[in-house]
Amino acid sequence: MKKIALGAALVLAFATLPLFIKSNYLLGVLIVIGLYTIIVIGLGILMGYAGQVSFGHAAFFGMGSYTVAVLTTARHWPTIPALIAALILPGLVAAIIGRPTLKLKELYLALATLAFGILVHILFNEGGEITGGPSGLMGIPYLSLGGLVFDRDIKFYYLVLAVVLLVSLAVNNLIQSRTGRALRAIRESEHAAEAAGMDTVLLKLQAFVFSAVLAGLAGGLYAFYVTFISPSPFSFHMSVQFVLMAVVGGLGTFWGPLLGSGLVVALGEALRWAVPLVIPGAGGEYQIIFFGIILVLVMIFRPAGLGSFLSPQVSQGRPGRPGGKEVDDRVAGG
């Protein structure tokens, strides 16, 4: 009941927040936090439950954005079918590359996903007329649903809030299901899960595809929000930030994606303003240094992430491990 009450209070707070915000800039920051939260929720499933790391999710994020941009500007698709396609394409690509990639372990898996993300970013830059190259694509229409057009920040804020809420509830139901318990078993011990008769390869692939679909969803919504895209938001640095959001927020925690995304985005905005004052002429590369320091501090003092403050049961197991010791006992029973 406490968790439900807390959730209802937070939803109410976010629903009424725009009434007290007069700045479109701050409202835009909240929209971006919501979009990143969708991506980090998927990464939480992949990393916190399936136990697989990915440094290439900015590529899936970009695929969703470019799918919407190309289909609505060059092909003149309606916005909703274009958004659906933005979910399908990253999912298909993840299904194709996932099976060989997920055979790799630890550092090799991280390097493989890193290489994939860099390759896709190069394709965005060198895509010519299709992607617009470094100049990007403009003229993306606003998202429209029936007669409702999301052409103002306040409208898009409530749309993103609704999507984050629906995705969070769906994922919460997923991790309480038999599939979710199987994923937790893989995270605790892949060999034990295989010995129990689970198809760990298929489960990891499903988690990878699911996380890519959520990244594509966020990318499609991002394109409709900014109505212009270029390759820069989908670089390797963005993939690193997504992983940072997931780890800082807390892998396997319900509130972790929101807390991690909010902290990293807010800190990024603050550093963008503060760093040039301290180091004249400094660029965005200095942000990576500060993000690295934050990651180290969180791993030292709160290895289960910030979300564990609101989900204390996470810290009962090993640090950073969702579910604790009951996973292996419960997974076989469904």
- The total number of residues written for the chain in this structure: 334
Inter-residue contact 304 to 250 (CB < 8 Å): yes
**Is residue 325 very low, low, confident or very high in pLDDT (cuts 50, 70, 90)?**
very low
Residue 48 lies in a domain: yes
Residue 241 lies in a domain: no
Residue 163 lies in a domain: yes
Is residue 300 predicted with pLDDT exceeding 90?
Answer: no
**What are the start-end ranges of the E strands in 147-268?**
148-149, 228-229
Span 279-288, mean pLDDT? 67
**Whole-prediction pTM value?**
0.89
Residue with tokens 């009951």: 326
Residue 240 lies in a domain: no
Residue 263 lies in a domain: no
Residue 244 lies in a domain: no
Span 284-301, mean pLDDT? 75
Is residue 102 predicted with pLDDT exceeding 90?
Answer: no
Q: Of the candidates 26, 8, 25, which has an alpha carbon nearest to the alpha carbon of residue 17?
A: 26
Is residue 231 predicted with pLDDT exceeding 80?
Answer: yes
How many separate domains does the chain show? 1
Tell which wins on pLDDT, 99 or 64: 64
Question: CA angle, corner 38, sides to 244 and 66, nearest 5?
Answer: 95
Residue 262 lies in a domain: no
Domain of 49 in residue numbering reads as 2-234
Predicted confidence at residue 50, as pLDDT, reads 87
219-230 pLDDT tens trace: 999 999 999 999
Chain Cα centroid distance, residue 203: 19
Residue 77 lies in a domain: yes
46-78 pLDDT tens trace: 998 888 889 999 999 999 999 999 999 999 999
What pairs with residue 245 in β-bridges?
none
Predicted confidence at residue 281, as pLDDT, reads 67
